[in-house]
Amino acid sequence: MRQPPQRAKSVPNYRVYGFIVASDLPLPVLPRADEGEPDVVIAAGPVLETEDLRTQFRNWEAEPDRFIATFHETGRFLVSGGNRIAYQRFDHADDSQVVSNLLGTCMAALLMQRRILPLHSCCVRTDQGALLVMGVSGAGKSTTLGGLMALGLPMMADDVTGIVFGEVGRPLAVPAFPATRLWQDSLEKLGHGTAGLPRVRTDLAKFYRAVDGFHSEAEPIRAIVYLKATNAAEATFQPIEPARQVECVSRFVHRKNFLDGMDLRRWGFESAVAIVRRVPLFELARPSGWVEPVDLAKTILDGIAAREEMVRSPA
Amino acid sequence: MTPRAEYGPGRSIIWLASYPKSGSTWLRALLSACLCPGEPVDLNQLVGASVVFERAQLDEHAAIDSAHHSLDELLPYQSDYHRAFACDQQGPVFIKTHSAFRSAPDGIDLFPREASAGVIVVVRNPLDIVGSYAHHEGKSADAIIARMADSEASQDAWDDKISKALPQRIGDWSGNIASWLDQRAMPVCLVRYEDMLSDTQAALVRVLEFSGIGQSEDAVQRAVEACRFAQLSAAEARGGFVEKPSQIRTFFRSGEAGQGIRELDARQVATILSNHRAVMERLGYAA
C-alpha cells in the first residue's frame, strides 16, 4: 500500500497523467488541481551523491521504487516510492532546467513506479479511441501531432503517453498535460508565433504552447503508429507484422533502461505483450523532407480507417 | 616507426576523424571490403558508422533529452557514453566523426582515452575540399571557404529544430585537424587523401597495421580494386547512399587531387592559404 506523501502546506497542486502533484517549484502549463489531496510531492531537498553507481559510466541508477540521477549543470534528483521527487539544484541552474528534468526523465521514472507505462509517443483522441504516434526524437512526431490537431482532434499527450490497463486488461491511454513543446521552426510551419510563449529552456528556441483542445480523461487505445523518416519519395503506411510488434512497442518505452534496475523488466514486457494483443500497430514511413502536417495526419487516419473496414468486412 | 593503436580494457574504438569531404567514406569502403571479403561493397552498411552520435542512443544511456541541451552541455554525457559503449565492444570498432577533438573546461574529453584505442585522421588539401563540399551542400565556394574558417561551425546543430543525429562541433579546417594531431589521449595514424590516391594499397596497409588487423597482400589488393571510384559511383547509382546530399546530386565526384586549384579563382585560393597556411604547411599542402 503506497503511503500518502508528506508535503509542505500552501504549495500548488497540479494534475498530470491522472494524478495530483504538489510542487514547490512552479510547473508551467500543467493545469492546477484545486481539489483533492496530492498523490505526489515534488520538493527541494538534499539528494546525496551517488558514489556507488552500480552501472558504470552512467549519471543515474535505478533500484526497486527508487531512481536517482545527476544532471550536469542542473542538479541531483531522487524519485522514490511512486509519490515523491526530491531535487537538489546546482548553483546557476535556472527553473527551466530543473522543470525540464522533472517533467521529462523524473516523470518517466515516477510513472513506472506507479505502474503507468510511459510510451514515447504523442496522442490524440478520435471518436473511436486514442491514437498514439511513436517515434524517435526528430522523426516528426510534433509535426504529425500538429496535423492531427489541425483536423480537430483533441490532444492527450505531446511526447510521452501513459498507458494503464483497465477492465479485462484493456489498454488505456492516460493524458499528460495540455501543452505541446515545439521548436520555433515547427511552430512557424504550423502557422503559430512564439510571442509570449514560455521557453522549454531559456537558451533554446523551443516553446511550451498551451493547446485549446485537450482531452483530459483516459481513453481506450484505437491504434498505435510507428513514425519514421526515410529517404523514400512517398509516404507509405502499413500494418506492422505481428512478429515485430512487441519489440516495436518495447523499443519506445520512454527511458526503458530504468526497467531493469527498478525490477520492472517483466512488467514492461508483459505490458508490451498486452498492448499488441489488443491494439493494431501500423508503420508510417515518411519522406525525410518537409511534408504538410495535415497530409501526414490524413495518411494515418485514412490508413487506419481502411484497415478497420477491411477487418469488419473481409473480402 | 608507425604508431600502433593501443587496445586495452574498454579501449576498443578507433575513431575515423576527418573534416567533411576529405575521403573518410572511401577509407570506410576500403576497410569494409577488407573486413568483409567476398561481399559487394554496400555503401549503406560501411564499417565505421557514426553509431555513438545517434541522438536516441545517448538519450537512452544518459536519461536526458539531448534536444534540450547545448553542445557543450552534452559533452560529459557523450564522454561517459563513449566509455560505456567501448566497454561493451571487442576492438577494433571503427567510428567515423567530423567533430574536432574537444574537451570540457574541467578536462573531460569528448573522445576519452579510456574508450579510445586510436584515431585515424584523414586529411585532404583544403583547396580540393571546397569544390567537393560546395557540391555536397549545394552552396557557393565562397560560402564553403567561410565555413572552413569558422571555428564555431557545427553539424546537425540548429537553434530551432533537431535531427536524429547529435550535433557535432566541426570547427574550422585548421582547428579540426590540429585538435586531433595535437591531442595526447590516443595514438594517431595520419592519412593524406592524396596518398590514398597515389598508392591506395600502401595507405590501406598503414591503416590496417595501425589498427592491428592482419590481411594478406591479395586481400588488400582485392579491396583496393573493389573500391575504385568507378566501382563506388556504380554502387551509389545502383543501391543509393543514405549520405548522398540530395536526390539530384551524387556523393562521389571525380575524386581527383588538384581539382580545387583549377576550380577556384586567385582570390579564393589566397583566402584559403591565408586562413590555413600553418596547418597546410604542416601537412605538406602549401608548397
Neighbours of B229 (CB within 10 A): 14
Residue B32, classed as helix, strand or coil, is helix
**Cell numbers placing B225:** 580494386
Q: SS3 for A18?
A: coil
Residue B160: CB atoms within 10 A of its CB come to: 15
Task: Give the C-alpha separation, A160 to A122, whole Å.
Answer: 6
Q: Where are the alpha helices (DSSP H) in B183-228?
A: 193-198, 200-211, 217-226
When CB atoms are compared, the residue of B63, B67, B84 closest to A60 is B63
The Cβ of residue A299 has, within 10 Å, a number of other Cβ atoms equal to: 20
How many Å apart are CA A178 and CA A118, to the nearest integer?
A: 17
CB contacts < 8 A, A to B, total 81
Per-residue pLDDT for chain A (315 aa), expressed as one digit of tens each?
A: 456 565 555 788 999 999 999 999 999 889 999 888 999 999 999 998 776 554 568 899 999 999 999 998 899 999 999 999 999 999 989 898 899 899 999 999 999 999 999 999 999 999 999 999 999 877 888 889 999 999 999 999 999 999 999 988 999 999 999 998 888 877 887 788 888 888 887 777 888 888 888 999 999 999 999 999 887 788 899 999 999 999 999 999 999 999 999 999 999 999 999 999 999 999 999 987 778 889 999 999 999 999 999 888 876
Secondary structure element (H or E) that encloses residue A129, with its range: strand A129-134
Residue B24 in contact with residue B227, Cβ under 8 Å? no
Q: What is the DSSP string of A254-271?
A: TTTTHHHHTT-HHHHHHH
CA–CA gap between residue A153 and residue A224 (Å, rounded): 15
B274 CB within 8 Å of a chain A CB: no
Q: Cβ of B240 and A229 within 8 Å?
A: no
B86: nearest Cα among B44, B51, B35, B34: B51
The secondary structure of residue A168, as a DSSP letter, is G
Give residue B262's pLDDT: 79
**Predicted local distance difference test score (pLDDT) of residue B125:** 95
A contacts of B74 (beta carbons < 8 Å): none
d(CA B31, CA B47): 7
Tens digits of residue pLDDT in A31-57: 999 888 999 999 999 998 776 554 568
Torsions phi, psi for A161 (to 5 deg): -105, 135
d(CA A67, CA A81): 9
Query: Using an 8 Å Cβ cutoff, are B223 and B33 in contact?
Result: yes
β-pairing verdict for B188-192 and B116-123: parallel
8 Å CB contact between A29 and B55: no
Smallest Cβ distance to B68: which of A57, A108, A204? Answer: A204
| Record: contact B242-A136, CB cut-off 8 A | no
CB contact under 8 A, B162 and A257: no
Q: Which residues of A touch B242 (CB under 8 A)?
A: 231
Taking the Cβ of residue A44 and every Cβ of chain B, the question of whether any pair is shorter than 8 Å is answered with: no
Q: Please write the tens of the pLDDT for every residue from B117-136.
A: 999 999 999 999 998 899 88
Q: Take residue A155 and report the three cell numbers written for it.
A: 490532444
Cell, residue B103: 574537451
* Sole residue written with cell 534528483: A77
Instruction: Find out whether B58 and B78 touch, Cβ atoms under 8 Å.
Output: yes
Contacts of A232 (CB under 8 A, 6+ apart): A285, A287
Q: How far apart are CA A225 and CA A240, in angstroms?
A: 9
Distance separating alpha carbons of residues A69 and A50, to the nearest angstrom: 8
In angstroms, the separation between the Cα of residue B156 and the nearest Cα of chain A is 11
Minimum-distance CB partner of A72 among B63, B77, B242:
B77
Question: Computed from CA positions of residues B241, B159, B22, B180, in that sequence, does the dihedral angle turn out positive or negative?
Answer: negative
Closest chain A residue to B75 measured between Cα atoms?
A72
A207: which residues sit within 8 A by CB, 6+ positions away?
A: A181, A182, A184, A187, A194, A197, A198, A199, A200
State the CB neighbour count (10 A cutoff) for residue B170.
24
d(CA B252, CA B135): 10
Reported ipTM: the value is: 0.83
C-alpha cell at A209: 504552447
Low-confidence ranges of chain B (pLDDT < 70): 1, 159-162, 238-257, 287
Mutate to test the interface with B, among A57, A58, A121 (most CBs of B within 10 A): A57
pLDDT at A300: 97
Note whether B216 contacts A: Cβ–Cβ < 8 A: no
- A52–chain B Cβ distance below 8 A for any pair: no
- Sequence-separated (6 or more) residues with CB below 8 Å from residue A295: A147, A235
Dihedral of the alpha carbons of A236, A237, A240, A245, in degrees to the nearest 10? 100
Q: Which long-range contacts (CB under 8 A, 24 or more apart) does A184-193 make?
A: A184/B159, A184/B160, A184/B161, A185/B158, A185/B160, A185/B161, A186/A142, A186/A143, A186/A146, A186/B161, A189/A143, A189/A290, A189/A293, A190/A143, A190/A146, A190/A150, A190/A293
What DSSP line would sit under A69-101, residue for residue?
Answer: EEETTTEEEEEETTTEEEEEEPTT--HHHHHHH
